[in-house]
Amino acid sequence: MQAFQVDERLDRDSQLLLDLALCQVRLMNDARWPWLILVPRRPAVCELFDLSAEDQQLAAAEANRVAALLKGLTGADKINVAAIGNIVRQLHIHVVARSEGDPNWPRPVWGFGTAEPYGAPERDAFITRIRKAFSR
C-alpha cells in the first residue's frame, strides 16, 4: 500500500502547522493574504470525490472549521475555499482570508503575481495565533 507523502511543491510553498483527524493544516508562505491549505493524509487522491464518503464529510468539516477560525482570527470580509489542483494534483483545499483592498480583490488569489514570503517574526506570531485558536 502506498504511503501518504505531501507533494514536493506544497511542501516547499507551505509549512505544516498541525494535524487534524484527516488533514494536515499548512500555512502558505505568502504574506499577501492569510492562506491556509488542508491536505488530506491519504495517498493518491486527486479529487474530493476520490475520498471515501466518510473522508469527504471529514474533509468538509475540517475545511469549514479552519475557515471559521481564519475568519475569526483575521476579521476578513470573505473566506475563499477551493479545491483546484490544476497544477499540483495531490488533493489540497485552499482556505484564504480575503479583504477589500487586498492585492487582487475581488479577483482570486490563484495565479496572481508571486508569493511574498513572510518575515520570520511576522510568520511566527501568526503561527502562534493560529495554533492557539485551534487549541481552544
Dist CA 130 CA 68 (whole Å): 12
Which string of x and - marks every residue 28-57 that binds its own copies (by CB under 8 A)? ------------------xxxx---x--xx
Given 37, 39, 67, 97, the residue binding its own copies (CB under 8 A)? 67
Given 5, 43, 52, 110, the residue binding its own copies (CB under 8 A)? 110
Cα distance from N-terminal residue to C-terminal residue, the chain: 36
By C-alpha distance, which of 132, 128, 131, 109 is closest to 120?
128
Q: Which is nearer to its own copies, 42 or 123 (CB)?
A: 42
By the 8 A CB rule, do 43 and 59 touch? no
Say if residue 43 is preceded by a cis peptide, omega within 30 of 0. Answer: no
Given 87, 114, 120, 136, the residue binding its own copies (CB under 8 A)? 87
**List of residues contacting its own copies (CB under 8 A):** 46-49, 53, 56-57, 59-61, 63-65, 67-68, 71, 77-87, 89, 98, 105-108, 110-111
